[in-house]
């Protein structure tokens, strides 16, 4: 059995917890997230006949006075970076976090999730920005925690990215 630690990161309110909840088996309640700043769930996915046990660290949203603790990031093999597709400011936050992750963990697989794709009216990511994100050689998924669109695909994708090729 292969086990991997992944972290779900992003600005506050982008839908990290909702995305995770869509996908996982949950043992702990959400109150851990508000008290300890982290909640850990697990999900087993199958990649090329290999069972991968994802330990998903759903970490509280990054805010000005509430940084993500380095200790929570330590040992992570992959990152799911969540952006709220209706709020442009969350893109900048994602960039900051991305930089920090690279500083602390080195080059590890990072996948971008543009969440709330069901809210078409309020969608503010234009094609230009989308192209920029994709051109930075990252996988980008348009997801919706509400409809479940692309959620499973994105988790499977990160699992695949973490396994040695």
Which CB atom, from 36 or from 119, has the smaller least distance to another protein?
36
As measured in angstroms, the least distance from the Cβ of 97 to another protein is 18
Residue 64 CA: distances (Å) to CA of 1, 61, 73, 109, 150: 39, 10, 18, 25, 30
Identify the helix (H) or strand (E) that includes residue 151: helix 151-162
Q: How far apart are CA 93 and CA 64, in angstroms?
A: 10
Number of H helices, E strands in the chain: 6, 6
102 makes contact with another protein (CB under 8 A): no
Is 76:105 a contact under the CB 8 Å cutoff?
yes
- How many CB atoms lie under 10 A from the CB of residue 14? 28
How far is it, in rounded angstroms, from Cα 152 to Cα 131?
23
Nearer to another protein, 43 or 116 (CB): 43
Counting contacts by CB under 8 A, is residue 76 touching another protein? Answer: yes
Using the contact rule CB under 8 A, the part of the chain among 37-45, 79-87, 93-101, 146-154 near another protein is: 37-45
Told to check if 74 binds another protein by CB under 8 A, we report yes
Q: Which is nearer to another protein, 77 or 117 (CB)?
A: 77
The answer to whether residue 51 forms part of the interface with another protein (CB under 8 A) is: no
66 in contact with another protein (CB under 8 A) = no
The residues binding another protein (CB under 8 A) are: 1-5, 27-28, 32, 36-38, 40-42, 52-53, 55, 57, 69, 71-72, 74-77, 162, 164
């Amino acid at each position: 059995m292969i086990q991997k630690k992944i972290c779900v990161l992003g600005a506050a309110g982008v839908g990290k917890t909702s995305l995770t909840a869509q996908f996982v088996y949950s043992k702990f309640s959400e109150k851990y997230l508000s008290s300890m700043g982290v909640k850990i769930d697990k999900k087993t996915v199958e990649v090329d006949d290999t069972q991968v046990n994802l330990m998903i660290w759903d970490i509280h949203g990054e805010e000005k006075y509430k940084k993500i603790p380095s200790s929570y990031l330590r040992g992570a093999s992959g990152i799911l970076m969540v952006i709220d597709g209706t709020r442009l400011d969350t893109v900048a936050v994602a960039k900051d976090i991305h930089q920090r992750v690279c500083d602390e963990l080195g080059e590890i697989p990072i996948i971008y999730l543009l969440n709330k794709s069901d809210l078409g009216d309020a969608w503010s990511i234009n094609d230009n920005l989308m192209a920029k994100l994709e051109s930075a050689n990252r996988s980008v998924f348009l997801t919706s925690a509400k409809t479940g669109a692309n959620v499973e695909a994105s988790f499977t994708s990160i699992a695949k990215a973490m396994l040695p090729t």
